[in-house]
Amino acid sequence: MRHGRVRWVAGMLCLGVLAACSPSPSRVFSKMQQAARQGDRKAFASHFSETSRPFAEALLALYAAEYPKDGNRPDPLRQITRGEVVGESVEGDRAEVRVRMEGAPERVLVFVREGRAWKLDVDATDRENQGLPEE
């Protein structure tokens, strides 16, 4: 009985340490900005939730076709690099990162925890910014 309790406490400590070591949602947004600055579409897409990934990959494919890196039109993906995090709140496996974009009103980006990582959820973000209830 005592060994079981010790293992449980050790397990909880390990989970706490792992959770503390994983990047915060705001840090994930910063990584997305860095990937956008570098034009690394694959790294950028890796930060989307499982349900959002098909949308992100389709959008990035469209951007690649319409805005080639050597073209003279600016890539819309670079717009995210102009965002500034102004706040973050985390409740369980859901987080909201408030971002102010240059020349635009403050927006909320909704991140969900998948495993140990925070991922951007496009649908939840859209619903939040339209004032719609969660599904």
Flag whether 8 is in a domain: no
Flag whether 18 is in a domain: no
Taking CA atoms, 54 is separated from 61, 75, 95, 99, 122, in Å, by 11, 20, 21, 24, 11
Flag whether 48 is in a domain: yes
Residue 60 host element (H or E)? helix 53-66
What does the pLDDT profile of the chain (135 residues) look like in tens digits?
444 444 434 444 334 433 445 799 999 999 999 988 887 888 999 999 999 998 888 887 887 778 766 667 666 667 778 889 999 999 999 999 999 987 888 999 999 999 999 999 999 999 999 988 877
Flag whether 6 is in a domain: no
CATH code: domain of residue 68:
3.10.450
Which residues are CB-contacts of 17 (< 8 A; sequence separation ≥ 6)? none
**How many structural domains are present in the chain?**
1
Flag whether 19 is in a domain: no
* CA dihedral for 100, 107, 53, 93, sign (positive or negative): positive
Domain ranges, residue 85: 25-130
Alpha-carbon distance 37 to 83, whole Å?
12
Alpha-carbon distance 60 to 40, whole Å?
10
